[in-house]
Structure 1
Amino acid sequence: MNTALIDILQSGWIGMLLRGAGMTIFISLCGIALGMAIGIAGAAAKIGGSWPVRGLVGLYTLIVRSVPELLIIYLLFFGTVQPAADLADYLAWDELMSSAFPMLIGILAIGLISGSYSVEVFRGAFKAIDPGQIEAARAFGMSRAQCLRRITLPQLLWYALPGANNVWQNALKDTALISLVGLVELMRAAVLGAAATREPMTLYLLAGALYFLIGLFSQGLFVLAERRYGHGMRRAAA
């Protein structure tokens, strides 16, 4: 084990794993941001939208949550790769196509997957907000925009934090599936390193350790966010 680790260090694969971890974090952050936007919009539509809009949002969440994540990634990739390649060839963007296209597919896939779960997370958060607070704010002369900024959004994000934490952790793990369409993230870097060094156990253990550290750090951030932004709400509830 020690000899294998020394060989991996000398051959530079630790740096490759760290770059892959950076790509994993980037894809996860961009995907979860897209997913949260979808979740907030979908939750608002399910609560206050017309029945056709509610039906479309319900159909979206049902389909995405029922289909395997890998199949969604394959459908997005193979369904758009030829038009994207034709466009890149026309614009002479071949290099950009090979590097950016898998990344964009990864962000879109993670966004759609996490968004389907975020809809229910934010729907529950919306329902947890006391409507009397909105009525009181409007009675004091606040506009809809002021109510949204000062009352709805702060409470919405706080109530959604526990569920958003679960969605984030799942999105972080789902990025490993993007390696199958050519994106060099953490899992892909480990696979390439295992093939090059013939030390799969060591490379996969190192990748697992990096996933664990990323998950542990992000878990700590969510806990700190809940403690910091929940003080005022707990005092109000008391």
Structure 2
Amino acid sequence: MYELFSYGDAGWGDEILRGLAITVQLAVVTLPVGLFLGFLAAFASMSKWRPLRVLGFGYTTVMRGLPEILTLFVVYNGAGLLLNVILRWWSPEAPPTDFSPFAAGVIALGMVFGAFAGEVLRGAFQSLDIGQIEAGRAIGMTNRQIFLRIQLPQVWRFALPGLGNLWINMLKDTALVSVIALDDLMRMTKVAVGVTKQPFTFYLLACLIYWVMCVLSELVLAKLERRANRGIRRVTS
């Protein structure tokens, strides 16, 4: 069994590690994209302008109602089709181009993460005491200063548990990109199973790797929550 996980032509250790690296890269790149979309969705949902509110709520409602794998297929095939249309318009003699599976994974997972994050962030913003914002304006703070010094630190504290859960879910959802031929951990596991005919061994290994990543994420998130809540007095009954 140990030979199956060795490096080189005799084992699959190097392929599994390369797939793990791509999985981690995909999750890390998707996180800021999803957070950016989440803030945009939250701001749009809380806007005083009705069309923006409709757009914000429409985005979160639609994206939360679609299966992640369907979103992935739509982005991968739709973006690829759009890219080729633009290339043919720019240069009619341009050969067809395949859309990057990694980019498709980042966009699709980022859109899903952003929809759920938008609701988490909207709830966090609505939990803030409006009196603090009015006090900031009373002492001459600009809207930017109010956001950075008053709102954002508290929103981060309120939203962190929900965003942490979304991160762990997104980390596991990266396995979906294997269906569009991205050589992530799940795809390399499937390839190893197809060649070695050892499904239990390799799928169990993949389970352990995903579990370890989630446990490490939970430890980091717990530390971030403790830091975000430092100085906060907890009232016990």
TM-score by length of 2: 0.88
Note the residue ranges of structure 1 that are not aligned, 5 or more in a row: none
Tell me the CA shift for residue 12 of structure 1. 3.7
Contact 2:38–2:121 at 8 Å: present in 1 too? yes
CA deviation digits over 1:20-62, x for unaligned, max 9? 1121121112222111111112112211241111111111112
1:68 lines up with 2:67 in the alignment: yes
Distance 1:52 1:82, change over 3 A: closer
Aligned counterparts of 1:49 and 1:168: Cα–Cα separation in 2: 30
1:7 lines up with 2:17 in the alignment: no
Structure 1 runs (4+) deviating above 3 angstroms are: 82-88, 90-94, 235-238
**3-state SS, counterpart of residue 5 of structure 2:** helix
Partner of 2:193: 194
Contact 1:106–1:178 at 8 Å: present in 2 too? yes
Tell me the CA shift for residue 80 of structure 1. 2.2
Pairwise mapping of residues 23-42 of structure 1 onto structure 2 (< 5 A)? 23-42=22-41
Amino acid in the other structure paired with 2:195: A
**3-state SS, counterpart of residue 79 of structure 2:** helix
Contact 1:8–1:197 at 8 Å: present in 2 too? no
Tell me the CA shift for residue 180 of structure 1. 0.5
Tell me the CA shift for residue 236 of structure 1. 9.6
CA deviation digits over 1:43-93, x for unaligned, max 9? 1221124111111111111211111111111111111224435749x7989
Distance 1:105 1:158, change over 3 A: same
Partner of 2:140: 141
Distance 1:228 1:92, change over 3 A: farther
**3-state SS, counterpart of residue 109 of structure 1:** helix
Contact 2:4–2:12 at 8 Å: present in 1 too? no
**3-state SS, counterpart of residue 141 of structure 1:** coil
Name the stretch that deviates more: 213-222 or 49-58.
49-58
Name the stretch that deviates more: 47-56 or 78-87.
78-87
Tell me the CA shift for residue 8 of structure 1. 3.1
CA deviation digits over 1:108-153, x for unaligned, max 9? 0010011110111001110111111111122122221111111111
Amino acid in the other structure paired with 2:62: I
How many pairs are equivalent? 231
Partner of 1:184: 183
Q: If each structure's helix is expressed as a fraction of its own residues, which one has the higher value?
A: 1
Partner of 2:46: 47
Contact 1:176–1:186 at 8 Å: present in 2 too? yes
RMSD: 2.5
Name the stretch that deviates more: 30-39 or 161-170.
30-39
TM-score by length of 1: 0.88
Aligned counterparts of 2:81 and 2:70: Cα–Cα separation in 1: 18
Partner of 2:218: 219
Distance 1:153 1:210, change over 3 A: same
